């Protein structure tokens, strides 16, 4: 297997601002120029390009119902969180092994900007997913231990974090929250609230990864929070790399 080549560019501040309601990219032309230079460096003109959308650009909901009932349930849950007309949403669904369904939606005007960037770089848009949601299938597969207990995957980014709750491989819920710099204590406090929110005496395990993961793990350990803690890669860049790896496995 050939080694994976990675190139990256830092975007000027304010050029891309994640939002589920407003267009994210201030100048499609400027972002397209940056992406085009990366595509040229990889000699990938004409290739299929997959896209990870920022978590804050996507609306999601989980339903434990099945069949048409699940679609109606998710439709009402997503619509309540849109902040824009349902007719302007592009939706997709993932069905888990226990019958649960994860629905995700993005405003057409938002996702279309990202597709325009790819097209301007002379590539074909491929898979499009949210940076945290793309990892749900593998995280569900890894949560089959500890029968009967709720396990949490905390995926931490600089401006938000996602808490994914599983029980024996079943996705129970996804909670996305905004965050600010150096707020590991607030993230830890939200995790500590989960047993009360979901009516369980304790969590079976909490797995932390991403920006400030080590600080959050330390705070939870010092508070003697009743759960088994595990820490993966610390830092947002590592979290994005893991999401990219999950997305590229679909190709």
pLDDT at 248 (0 to 100): 87
What percent of the chain has a predicted confidence (pLDDT) above 70? 96
Segments of the chain scoring below 70 in pLDDT: 1-3, 66-68, 145, 251
- For β-strands 101-107 and 151-156, DSSP reports them as unpaired
Domain assignment of residue 229, given as a range = 133-248
| Same domain membership, residue 145 and residue 76 | no
| Same domain membership, residue 119 and residue 37 | yes
Q: Is residue 105 part of a domain?
A: yes
Q: Is residue 5 part of a domain?
A: no
| pLDDT tens for each residue of 113-142 | 999 999 999 999 999 999 999 999 999 988
- Contact between residue 111 and residue 90 where contact means Cβ atoms under 8 Å apart: yes
- Contact between residue 164 and residue 156 where contact means Cβ atoms under 8 Å apart: no
Domains: count for the chain: 2
Task: Name the one residue in this structure whose structure tokens are 């830890």.
Answer: 188
Rounded CA separation 139/217 (Å):
19
The residue from 130, 145, 167 where one domain ends is 130
- Contact between residue 154 and residue 163 where contact means Cβ atoms under 8 Å apart: yes
Q: Is residue 157 part of a domain?
A: yes
| Same domain membership, residue 142 and residue 199 | yes
Q: Is residue 2 part of a domain?
A: no
Task: Name the one residue in this structure whose structure tokens are 């997709």.
Answer: 92
């Amino acid at each position: 297997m050939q080694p994976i080549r990675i190139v990256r560019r830092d975007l000027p501040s304010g050029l891309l601002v994640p939002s589920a309601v407003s267009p994210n990219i201030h100048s499609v032309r400027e972002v397209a120029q940056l992406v085009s230079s990366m595509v040229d460096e990889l000699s990938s003109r004409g290739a299929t390009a997959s896209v990870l959308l920022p978590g804050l650009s996507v609306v999601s909901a989980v339903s434990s119902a099945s069949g048409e009932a699940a679609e109606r349930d998710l439709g009402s849950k997503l619509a309540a969180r849109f902040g824009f007309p349902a007719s302007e949403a592009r939706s997709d669904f993932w069905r888990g092994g226990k019958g649960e369904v994860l629905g995700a939606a993005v405003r057409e005007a938002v996702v279309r900007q990202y597709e325009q960037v790819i097209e301007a770089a002379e590539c074909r848009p491929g898979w499009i997913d949210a940076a945290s949601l793309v990892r749900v299938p593998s995280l569900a597969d890894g949560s089959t231990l500890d029968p009967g207990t709720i396990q949490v995957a905390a995926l931490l980014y600089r401006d938000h974090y996602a808490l994914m709750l599983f029980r024996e491989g079943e996705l129970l819920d996804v909670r996305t929250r905004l965050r600010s710099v150096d707020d590991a204590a607030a993230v830890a406090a939200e995790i500590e609230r989960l047993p009360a929110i979901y009516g369980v005496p304790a969590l079976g395990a909490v797995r932390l990864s991403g920006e400030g993961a080590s600080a959050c793990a330390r705070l939870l350990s010092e508070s003697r929070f009743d759960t088994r803690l595990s820490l993966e890669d610390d830092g947002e860049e590592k979290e994005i790399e893991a999401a990219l790896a999950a997305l590229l496995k679909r190709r």
